[in-house]
Amino acid sequence: MTATTIQAGTMAKALLITGTDTEVGKTIVTATLAAYWQTYRQPQRLGLMKPIQSGVGDREYYQQYFALDQTLETYNPLFFEAPLAPPLAADLAGQTIDLGAVWRPLTQLLAERDFVLIEALGGLGSPVTHELTVADLAAQWRLPTLLVVPVKLGAIAQTVANVALARQNQVPLKGIVLNCLSAEAEANVEQWAPVALLESLTQVPILGVIPPISDSTSLSSLAQAAGHLELSAILPAQT
């Protein structure tokens, strides 16, 4: 599936949430945006997708806490039991990764919904197949992309490296969200991930800093956390 198969403007209704690595807060950022939409953007219809999942986790969370009237196939088109990189999990299961099986339900969601949030697997450099990374897929499918960076020591170098990867692959990067995984991280944002320095080094806008969220099952807490983001730069204008 290449960019030439995509009609101009189709992906304006989608947002890919990726990160610098695994366990950086992609699910929390996705859930924060979804909870905000569910709270303040009804009756506009939202879609949620985890295109490929290895091991139990995100699709189960989305199905349980977000009532979006979606089938399992549209929440998660490809699933592998082993919690490994998808090409390795597929090899272990004796299967291959068919990206057409992701593309078809994605186009279905885009046709039916006003906006679709897509949580990527792993990080921007994580393999989707033996030949393609998340960055490759984002570029080929022209997916507007949000990069989640965990606030910690090393965040500056990780951010610079991932933005360079996005730029090299011509990923349509909308901006960066900093995610505080703990109270310590929140207290050290200016030391570990200073906004002005990151924007100077990358020339990419920081679109907010998510504070620690104690209860990821509370849609009101998640929606409130969205207030820390520049939503006008992330979500489409309300109609």
* Distances, alpha carbon 217 to alpha carbons 67, 112, 152, 213, in Å: 13, 26, 24, 10
Give the active site residue among 26, 50, 152, 174.
50
Query: Which residues lie closer than 8 Å to 230 by C-beta, 6 or more apart?
Result: 175, 205, 207, 208
* Dist CA 174 CA 143 (whole Å): 10
Closest by Cα among 5, 206, 226 to 117: 226
Number of residues assigned to the chain: 239
Would you call 50 a catalytic residue per the annotation?
yes
Active site residues: 50
